[in-house]
Structure 1
Amino acid sequence: MTDQTRPTCLAVFGGSGVYEMPGLTIEEEREVETPWGSPSAPVTIGELNGVRVLFLSRHGKGHTVPPSGLNARANIAAAKMLGATDVLSLSACGSFKEELAPGHFVAADQFVDRTKGRPSSFFEEGCVAHVSMAHPVCSRLSEEAAKAAEAAGTKVHRGGTYLAMEGPQFSTLAESELYRAWGMDIIGMTAMPEAKLAREAELPYAILGMVTDYDCWHEDHGAVDVASVLAILAKNRVHAQKTVDEITKLIGPERTPCPDGIETCLDYAIVTPKEARDPEVVKKLKAVAGRVL
């Protein structure tokens, strides 16, 4: 049974409180060990509207893991190992455009990666692969996420480019103005390399950027600060919970394959011939790429 034919299992990466919602039946909280270490937190496994769901607190319980310290490989691998068929990222972000106001959600469909030093691939010396990232999100899942957020009562903007910065500091004014000049829409610290790794694991990925601020470019709002971000995050949390509830209704337990071919993207991506592959590397990779290995 492939990811294209088996029942839906939706992994949700977000804050620790996202899974505290009516109607969710929690089965267990599971510690997972992957070939790349432990994920940010134990994975909460449950069922919502007949759909199996996995919740992962991206920054750990109590927000103890900084953006640069996230083990994105372990997070994605844990989701894959637990049977995820799709990954929905709920991520706080800043806005570079007046119309993308705090409290709004953005279903971003492109990324610019400005992070540095974060391991961004499962593949390594001994087994090399090159996946396409031209279209980094699943068109089906992204539209379902947008519709779900709208049904939850949130203003949603479809499409847009998410600039992933290293953090943990916020932008300088010069950086903020530069990114606006580049035509970026939102900015955050977590979507990369998460989206790249999801693609390597053949997991359809979508992101809803939850706008908390205008970075520091907006002359009427001043520099972003933690207190204002947390205030908006508290409001967004309720919308995020409702969005997850609505998207499970839209997706349903009988999964619709991604129209973009993400579940089979490794078919022609691995360039190292079988006889030249390092057995130890292949052993690790089977956790996320077992279908082709």
Structure 2
Amino acid sequence: MTVLGIIGGSGLYEIAGLQNAEWRSVETPFGAPSDALFTGTLDGLQLVFLPRHGRGHVHTPSSVPYKANICALKQLGVTDIVSLSATGSFREDMPPGDFVMVDQFIDRTFAREKSFFGPGCVAHVSVAHPTCKRLSAMVSDAARQSGANVHDGGTYLAMEGPQFSTLAESRLYREVWNCDVIGMTNMPEAKLAREAEICYAPVAMVTDFDCWHPDHDAVEVADIVRTLMGNADRARSTVVHLAKGLAAQRDVCPCGCDRALETALITAPEARDPEFVKKLQPIAGRVLN
């Protein structure tokens, strides 16, 4: 069965027609998630919403409990994640208000735990193609139906934050590394979703041009919030259209996202730490048992 998880801002769950809606507190072996999770049913599809920064925006990009967030979604049966986030743009043709269906990342974060696995049970998953093409294509179609100007494909530079880029950094990412958008939250989210065998489709909602643009030499929070408010309606509409398109009966993912761990475990069974293996059960029980 398909269960759609939505990670994003606090207002995304305010969708007309959502039935059996309730907040659910979830505890995970990796601690508490950013907030309670808001669950409901839309057009027969079960939805789970997670405010990434918590209601009221209490978490910085570095303090978001990424492992607990992904684990909580997994524990509630989520099979597909759509991640919506604010980003800066490095491209004139990707102006504020546009949606970019990210398909690649450059991870420049350094203060975050990036794997569920570790000493006692080691695993190496492939993130050569870190997003789900099947799910991303469906989200792209839904976003267009919502009226958004959508770009299919783009490289997301994940920075640590919470400060915005220096001008030298912005020029490096744009001119040398050929990135398309910049944000602070999709890593290690995408890597953890892959380890949890959950399909992951990130939507970069452009709010500004970063500081490389001669007419935008500094990023202002007020401008970002103003653009985000404009994007919010399209984001909610995207979720509604996506819910109508996703089949409630889940098929095997053609990208292999739901089987990512089958060749990833490297620690011999007899050498695995039993307590750590117990902690990993919500994430990797399918292949550990």
- How do residues 4-23 of structure 1 correspond to structure 2 at under 5 angstroms? 7-23=1-17
List structure 1 runs of 4+ shifted beyond 3 angstroms.
none
CA contact (8 A) 1:97 1:185 kept: yes
Partner of 1:53: 47
Quick one: which amino acid aligns to residue 287 of structure 1? P
CA contact (8 A) 1:153 1:239 kept: yes
CA distance in 2, matches of 1:26, 1:157: 34
- How do residues 149-160 of structure 1 correspond to structure 2 at under 5 angstroms? 149-160=143-154
Compute the displacement of 1:256 (Å).
3.4
Q: 2:110 aligns with which of 112, 116, 120?
A: 116
CA displacement 1:103-154 (0-9 Å, x = unmatched): 0000000000000120000001000000000000001001011111000000
Q: 2:31 aligns with which of 34, 37, 44?
A: 37
CA distance in 2, matches of 1:287, 1:239: 33
CA distance in 1, matches of 2:111, 2:85: 21
Aligned residue pairs total: 287
Partner of 2:190: 195
Compute the displacement of 1:203 (Å).
0.4
- How do residues 1-293 of structure 1 correspond to structure 2 at under 5 angstroms? 7-181=1-175, 182-293=177-288
Quick one: which amino acid aligns to residue 133 of structure 1? V
Compute the displacement of 1:65 (Å).
0.6
CA distance in 1, matches of 2:174, 2:210: 10
CA distance in 1, matches of 2:18, 2:252: 24
Quick one: which amino acid aligns to residue 259 of structure 2? T
CA distance in 2, matches of 1:229, 1:268: 42
CA distance in 1, matches of 2:247, 2:147: 20
Quick one: which amino acid aligns to residue 161 of structure 1? T
Compute the displacement of 1:255 (Å).
2.2
Residue ranges of structure 2 left out of the alignment (5+ in a row) = none
CA distance in 1, matches of 2:216, 2:160: 23
CA distance in 1, matches of 2:152, 2:8: 20
Taking structure 2 as the reference length, what is the TM-score of the superposition? 0.98
Compute the displacement of 1:28 (Å).
1.9
CA displacement 1:39-92 (0-9 Å, x = unmatched): 000000101111000000000000111101011000000000010011110011
Residue ranges of structure 1 left out of the alignment (5+ in a row) = 1-6
CA distance in 1, matches of 2:253, 2:100: 20
Compute the displacement of 1:27 (Å).
3.1
CA distance in 1, matches of 2:253, 2:210: 33
CA distance in 2, matches of 1:26, 1:62: 24
Taking structure 1 as the reference length, what is the TM-score of the superposition? 0.97
SS at match of 1:235: helix
Quick one: which amino acid aligns to residue 270 of structure 1? L
CA contact (8 A) 1:28 1:44 kept: yes
SS at match of 1:290: helix
Please report the RMSD computed on the Cα atoms of aligned residues, expressed in angstroms. Answer: 0.8
CA contact (8 A) 1:51 1:253 kept: yes
